[in-house]
A and B are shown apart, each in its own frame.
Chain A
C-alpha cells in the first residue's frame, strides 16, 4: 500500500532544518535548565548533607527532620507541622470541591438556560478572578471586621481564632467562581438543543434535565477541575499567606503554604533548603500515583458524555 505523503514544512530541506534548530534551541535550553535541571537538583538537594553551609555528602536526615522535631539553621521542622498542614490541605480541598463545584455547576446551568440577567451574572462572577487576591483580601477583611462582624450587622467574629479558618474558606469560595463558570457554560452551550427538547417531550423537569443531560455533558470539565484541584491540593495556599501574611496560624497553614513560606524563610541558607527539597520530593512521590489513580477512577466510574 502506498504511504501517504508527509504534510509539513521543511521536508528534506537543509535550510528549513537550520531555521527550525535555531528557533527551538533557546526555549529547549531554558526547559532543560529551569525544568529538568531544577527538578533533578531538587532530588540531589533532598539527599545532600550540609556542613557549615557546604555540601558534605549524602544523608536521609532532610526527610527525617519532618518526622521528628529538628532545628536546622534556626528553622524548625517537625512532624506536627507536617501532618497538621496535610490535614488542612485535605480538608480545604474537600470543602472547596464540595461547595465550589456544585454551586459553579448550578450557576452555569442558570446561565445555560439563558435566564434573566445571565450575561451580567457571568461577567460579575468572573470579575474576582481577574483581580489580585491581596486587594480583595484587604477589602474582605476590613468589611467583615468594620461593618459586618464584631457586633456590626452580626455578632460573629470573622477573624477570631475559632472562626478564621471558616472565614478564609468562605473568602476562597466566594471569589472562586470565575474560571469554572466560564468553562462550564462554554461546555454546556455545546449541548444540542434537540436533546433538551426531546427530554422535555418525555416530561423531564428542570432537576431531571440538569442531572441526566447537563451534568453528564459537563462532566469532562468537572473532571478537569477535580484532577487539577487534586494535583494542586498540596501546593495550593487557599489565600492563607494573602490573608495572614508572614505568620499564618497552624489551623490555616496548608502544605503548600508550609513549603512556600519555608522556602522564603530558608532561602539564605543552603542547609535549610534541603528539608524543603526533601518535602517537595516526598509530596511529589505521593501525589503523582494518586493523581493517576484518580484519573483512572474518573474514567472508569464517572459520567460518560454519550
Chain B
C-alpha cells in the first residue's frame, strides 16, 4: 500500500520537472472547480459583464440552484410530458445507484464466496468464465440487450438496470475471491464441528470478515453508477437519474423561468444561462465530493487482486 510515512528523497532534475507539472495541473484543476462554483452562485446579470472574477458578497445568490430544482421536470418544460420532479429524480438515482451497486456487489461477493470455499467442479467453471469474460472483449451487444429487455417487458422500467447489473462477472469477483481465499479454512471447520450450517458459516463467519472489502466495492460501484447517465438514457429513458438530468439540462432548449420575487430584481432565469448550468453540475458533484472527503482513504486503499486494504 502507498505509504507516506517514509522520509522523502532529495530533489533530482526529473522530480523538479514533475513538481512543476503537478503544480500546474493542480492549480488548473482547483481553479476550474472554484471558478465554476463561484459562478454558480453569481447573479446572471453580473456574470454577463464579468465572467472571470469571483462574485462580491452582495452579488451572490442561491437562485441558480433554485432554478435547477424547479427545472427538474425538464421534459415538461420542453413540451414532453411525463418527466419527474426533483424528488422523483432523487428516487430514481437512489434506486439506480444504491440498488444497482448493492445488487452488483452482493451477487459478486456471493459467487466469489461459493467459488472460493466450495471446491466443486462448477466453482472451477465459474472462475474460468470470469477470467474468459474479462480477457475477451465483446463489442456492441447493446442492440441485442435492448431487444431482450423489450421481450422481457423490462425495457424502460426502473428494474432494467438492476437486472443487468446483478452480474458476478468482473474484476471485483477476483477481489472478493482473493479475500475469501485468505480466510483460513480452520474457522469454517471449527464452526462445522460445532454443528453450524453452511448458511450460518457464510453469514456469521465469512461475510463479516470481508465486510470492509464489500463496503469498498459497494462505494466504488455506487460512485460509478451515480455518475453514469448513458445506461439510464439507453435502457430507462423515462426514468431519468440526476446524472441523466444534468446531461439533458446541458442541452436544454427551453425558455426562461419566472421565480417569484427574483425576476423583479435580476430578470428571469433560464436553464441555458451559464450560472444555472454550473449550479446544476454541483447538485451532482457535492454528494460525491462529501463521500470522497469522508472515505477517501478507503476508496484510495490498495485495490488489488490480492484484496483491498482500506
Contacts and interface: CB of A to CB of B under 8 A. Distances in A.
Interface string A1-15: 000001111110001
B226 to A, nearest CB: 7
Contacts of B247: 134, 242, 245
B140 A115 contact: no
B300 A122 contact: yes
Interface in A38-70: 38-39, 41-42, 45
A165 interface: no
A45 B143 contact: yes
Nearest to B39: A142
A126 interface: yes
Interface residues of A, number: 103
Interface stretch (A78-86, A280-288, A296-304): A280-288
B169 interface: yes
Nearest to B126: A24
Contact of A134 (B29, B122, B136, B243): B243
Given A31-B167, A124-B29, A245-B251, A182 B9 contact: no
Interface stretch (A90-98, A155-163, A227-235): A227-235
B35 A276 contact: no
B178 interface: no
A231 B136 CA distance: 8
Nearest to A232: B137
B230 A260 contact: yes
Given A23-B114, A138-B250, A274-B143, 17 more contacts: A27-B167, A30-B163, A35-B169, A45-B147, A107-B22, A110-B18, A113-B15, A114-B9, A123-B296, A127-B289, A130-B292, A130-B299, A138-B281, A186-B1, A189-B1, A267-B143, A280-B142
A142 B164 contact: no
B223 interface: yes
Interface string B16-41: 01110110011011101101100100
B148 interface: yes
B285 A132 contact: yes
A279 B148 contact: no
Given A34-B163, A260-B230, A273-B143, A9 B285 contact: no
